[in-house]
Chain A
Amino acid sequence: MNSKTNENVATNVNAPLGKKRMAKANRREAVAGTLMASVPLIGFVIFGLIPLILALRMAFFKITGYEIFSGKNVGFENFAGVFEDPTFWKALWNTVRLGVSTIISQVFALLIAYLLSKNPKGKKAFRIIYFVPYVCSVVAITLMWKYMFNTNYGIINIVLGRTGDNAIDWMGDSAYFSWAVIIMSVWSGMGYGIILYTAAFTNVNKSMLEAAKIDGANEFVTFFKVILPSISSTSFYLLIMGVIGALQSFAVTNVLAPAGGPNNDGVTVVFWLYRRVIEYDNMLGIASAGAWVLAMIIMVITAAQFLISKKWVSYD
């Protein structure tokens, strides 16, 4: 009793001081937190926001050389220039066509990850091997495949028995070029999907799998009715990421065919942009307008992914 009163008195005496100290501590915390958190944002303002605002201005101005602060306001003329440029449409179409590889590699990745989820012997070794292409540089992998696709002495033509006069000109024939790119992209893109699907499979509800077994569902039904729905968010994420990645692809076709490939089949949208920024003169306005068109497509897809995945993901 006595001690309790003492304590009360003590707290009462200390209260104003404590509050002050608390306020000071809070201020210190606020200063430290703001400082720590601000560096990435400062970086974004300098290297992201300022260029972004300039990009918006540039899309509506006629610009000479790299004099981006001068020039004449031309309204939507640059956008008209983009849409009237057949190579832009061609690039967009190429990009979409090459994006097909995304879907193919996703289906294969799903199959492989499913087989891995059955815990085969050597699972770890398989996984290590499957993931190797992902860490390799696009340039090195492209050079490797370019050698294998060589018309005269490539192993692929040798295996297909197409050497000599009836050799397939993978790099020069428009009918084959895209296939070469798709085969390469599937080969190098599957590892990522396998890793993510493997992680998703470990999160599939075990009791639901058992219930399906007890109900006598065969493997096929279990896969399509239980497993596939519960990894839908991963599938969707992979699809969107794949499409966005395809929309921004550049290195593969640039290394395979620096001049754009047969019939310009290797010109992706970023390739188109690259030429207008780096190689051609006085095209910055049109390049910016084209970049905005691409960015709008990507942002719509990203937003759709964000909204739809919120609906789909089930946290059980």
Chain B
Amino acid sequence: MTDQNVQIIDTHQRMKKMRKGAGPVSYVILILYAAIIILPFLIVISTSFKTWQEASSTVFHLFPSEGFDASGYSEVFTYKANQDAAMPTLIKSFLNTLLYIIPPTVLGLFTSAIAGYAFAKLRFRAKNFMYTALLATMMIPGIICLAPTFSIYDMIGWVDTPYPLMIPGMFGAAACVFFMRQFYMGIPDSLVEAAKIDGAGYFSIFFRIMVPLSVPALMAQGVLGFVGGYNDYFNPLIYLQSSDLYNLQVALRVFAGVFRMRPNVVMAGTLSALVPTLILYFVAQNYFVEGIVTSGIKQ
């Protein structure tokens, strides 16, 4: 045993030595690329604090040379597209966004997870058929339903309401079901059997055993779902027509049009819209990576 250990340590060290580390060229490339990613953000930040004259001049200074000007941000937090509106447009649209995406994200996660649990652990006759049908739905590009879906929503009075953005997501998503099923397959049956002997029903097994065990997986799907909804532009653009219903992305684009002659204001709006996702990303960084990798590898 000791012999083996020594051998393992030996090969390990040899491998370490043999493995070429990152040379100077690698560092140059990695740092250069990091700079290419960071620079545009620095330009946005810097521009957002400039006067509009400096923001639209042909001389570029990273640090505002005509003094800091926060008027861009005061427009972001006070501009009202509609004089009678109770709240500034971008604030209202941010709250709208939260209202539109949190319920479907949470509920959709729940319905997907419970379906994933059923596909992973329960026996029922239609299981294979239902699972295949669900996977098949992932092959159909959603864009094909645009015209009929819009027409139906128009008929039932859902156009210019947030329902088209909220209700469908509450039923869960095939990709999320698939992901959660994979996760629950990895949980040993013995845990489930033990709970069954204790007389626990299937729903209580799900809530008491499966949910606590799958918190990281649920978080990974949750943050991805949240950011996807927060950043959505196409659906809100189609279904929301009155400006007080706009979500943040649509409102931001309209805002950028209104202030197109004052780039400092546009950049202040852009940055303000990015901050919530950036904070979430830096806090929950590992969940993002895990969510991407596992859902990327699945197919």
Q: Pick from A52, A292, A299 the residue with the most CB of B within 10 Å.
A: A52
Contacts of A58 in B (CB 8 A): 147-148
Contacts of A67 in B (CB 8 A): 151
A298 lies within 8 A of B288 (CB): no
What's the least CB distance linking B276 to chain A, in Å?
10
Kindly count the residue-residue contacts between A and B in the assembled complex, taking CB atoms under 8 Å apart.
302
Q: How far is the CA of A51 from the CA of B256 in the complex (A)?
A: 34
> Closest A-chain residue to B274, C-beta based?
A140
Q: Does A60 contact B (CB under 8 A)?
A: no
Q: How far is the CA of A265 from the CA of B69 in the complex (A)?
A: 37
What's the least CB distance linking A82 to chain B, in Å?
13
Contacts of B215 in A (CB 8 A): none
Q: How far is the CA of A144 from the CA of B144 in the complex (A)?
A: 31
Q: How far is the CA of A313 from the CA of B297 in the complex (A)?
A: 11
> Closest A-chain residue to B250, C-beta based?
A139
Given A43, A133, A187, A213, which contacts B172 in the complex, CB threshold below 8 Å?
A43
Q: Does A135 contact B (CB under 8 A)?
A: yes
Q: How far is the CA of A284 from the CA of B152 in the complex (A)?
A: 12
Q: Does B238 contact A (CB under 8 A)?
A: yes
As a 0/1 sequence over residues 7 to 35 of chain B, the CB contacts with chain A under 8 angstroms (1 = contact) are 00000000100111110001101100110
Contacts of A248 in B (CB 8 A): 141, 143
Chief secondary structure at chain B's binding surface: helix
Q: Pick from A28, A140, A199, A244 the residue with the most CB of B within 10 Å.
A: A140
Contacts of B173 in A (CB 8 A): 40
Given B134, B144, B227, B266, which contacts A135 in the complex, CB threshold below 8 Å?
B227
Contacts of A130 in B (CB 8 A): 33-34, 37
A120 lies within 8 A of B171 (CB): no
Chief secondary structure at chain A's binding surface: helix
Q: Does B233 contact A (CB under 8 A)?
A: yes
B149 lies within 8 A of A51 (CB): yes
What's the least CB distance linking A307 to chain B, in Å?
12
What's the least CB distance linking A254 to chain B, in Å?
8
**In chain A, residues 131-179, which have Cβ atoms closer than 8 Å to a Cβ of chain B?**
131-140, 143-145, 147-148, 150, 152-153, 155, 158, 163-164
**In chain B, residues 110-134, which have Cβ atoms closer than 8 Å to a Cβ of chain A?**
111-112, 114-115, 117-119, 122-127, 130-131, 133-134
Q: Does B79 contact A (CB under 8 A)?
A: no
Interface size class, chain B: 35 or more
Flag the segment in A6-14, A15-23, A30-38, A90-98 that touches B: A30-38
Given A37, A41, A115, A210, which contacts B18 in the complex, CB threshold below 8 Å?
A210
What's the least CB distance linking A6 to chain B, in Å?
23
Contacts of A136 in B (CB 8 A): 231, 274, 277-278
As a 0/1 sequence over residues 259 to 303 of chain A, the CB contacts with chain B under 8 angstroms (1 = contact) are 000000000001001101110000010011001101100110011
What's the least CB distance linking B284 to chain A, in Å?
10
What's the least CB distance linking A219 to chain B, in Å?
6
A118 lies within 8 A of B26 (CB): yes
Q: How far is the CA of A152 from the CA of B94 in the complex (A)?
A: 32
Given B22, B256, B288, which contacts A118 in the complex, CB threshold below 8 Å?
B22
B29 lies within 8 A of A294 (CB): no
What's the least CB distance linking A231 to chain B, in Å?
12
Given B111, B152, B237, B299, which contacts A39 in the complex, CB threshold below 8 Å?
B111
B130 lies within 8 A of A144 (CB): no
Contacts of B127 in A (CB 8 A): 33, 37
What's the least CB distance linking B187 to chain A, in Å?
16
Q: With contacts A41-B134, A143-B267 known, what are 6 further pairs, Cβ within 8 A?
A: A32-B201, A38-B115, A68-B152, A158-B59, A196-B296, A287-B146
A-B contact pairs, 11 of them (CB 8 A): A43-B172, A47-B149, A120-B30, A139-B231, A144-B270, A187-B37, A237-B299, A250-B234, A277-B147, A292-B144, A302-B139
